[in-house]
Amino acid sequence: MNKHKPGSICTFLMEKWSKTHMLAEAYILDIGCGKGAIGLQLNPYIAEYIGLDLNLEKEVVNAQKNRKFVCGRGEEMPFANRTFDLLLFSMSWHLMENHWQALQEAKRVLKANGLVSILEVADDNENWKSKKLRKDNPLFDSDVYIHKIRLLQHGAYYLKIQQDFEIVEQQTFGIPVPHEPPAMLKYWTLKPRAQLF
């Protein structure tokens, strides 16, 4: 069923999600979706993909009419209570300005059996996409680097101390990158401790 490249983020997520959900019936919200690259791959296998981002590029939305994009913040999700089976924060959790509010919203829009998946670049990763973050690149910017590391560490710390969700899974793994060392990522699955709404 899964025809994605072994080792891709999409394959990784589908393997996780298919253990708990029927993917063909799953409603998935991708928070901080960017260009929606994950949705493009997921779309044939799931019931509905919605990409939410505070900064949606018009060209991206127009070019992908078969998928839904909504402009908005993770801290104020413009959706009804109990809409989604799975929520994804891919490389966007550390960018939430208010983690508490984002988790309250996550709890509100999740269905009863819903789960949250969080993927982030590991803070000890050396294989960053951005040249500003690569210590071996002439464009390396130590301020940008320190800021990014702080945001990632703060996001991870918040997950540890929050009480609203149980962390049911946590792992660090590498995604293969051609001709380079693997990009190191961190992954969490969160389950609400109680339905609020």
Ligand X SMILES: C[S@@+](CC[C@H](N)C(=O)[O-])C[C@H]1O[C@@H](n2cnc3c(N)ncnc32)[C@H](O)[C@@H]1O
Positions that interact with ligand X (CB under 6 A): 31-34, 37, 52-55, 73-75, 90-92, 95-97
Q: What is the 3-state secondary structure (H, E, C) of 42-65?
A: HHHHCCEEEEEECCCCHHHHHHCC
Q: Which of 107, 60, 64 is nearest to 87 (CA)?
A: 107
Q: Which is nearer to ligand X, 63 or 193 (CB)?
A: 63
Helix (H) or strand (E) holding 70: strand 68-71
Minimum distance between the CB of residue 98 and ligand X, rounded to whole angstroms?
A: 8
Minimum distance between the CB of residue 95 and ligand X, rounded to whole angstroms?
A: 4
Concatenate the DSSP letters of all residues of 132-180 into one string.
GG-TTSTT--HHHHHHHHHHHHHHHHHHHH-SSEEEEEEEEEEEEETTE
Minimum distance between the CB of residue 112 and ligand X, rounded to whole angstroms?
A: 24
SS3 state at 89: strand
Q: Which is nearer to ligand X, 166 or 182 (CB)?
A: 182
Q: Which is nearer to ligand X, 37 or 175 (CB)?
A: 37
For residue 61, the one-letter residue type is V
- For residue 190, list its beta bridge partners: 116, 167
Minimum distance between the CB of residue 34 and ligand X, rounded to whole angstroms?
A: 3
Q: Which is nearer to ligand X, 95 or 167 (CB)?
A: 95
Minimum distance between the CB of residue 37 and ligand X, rounded to whole angstroms?
A: 6
How many other CB atoms are found less than 10 A from the CB of residue 197?
Answer: 10
Q: Which is nearer to ligand X, 40 or 194 (CB)?
A: 40
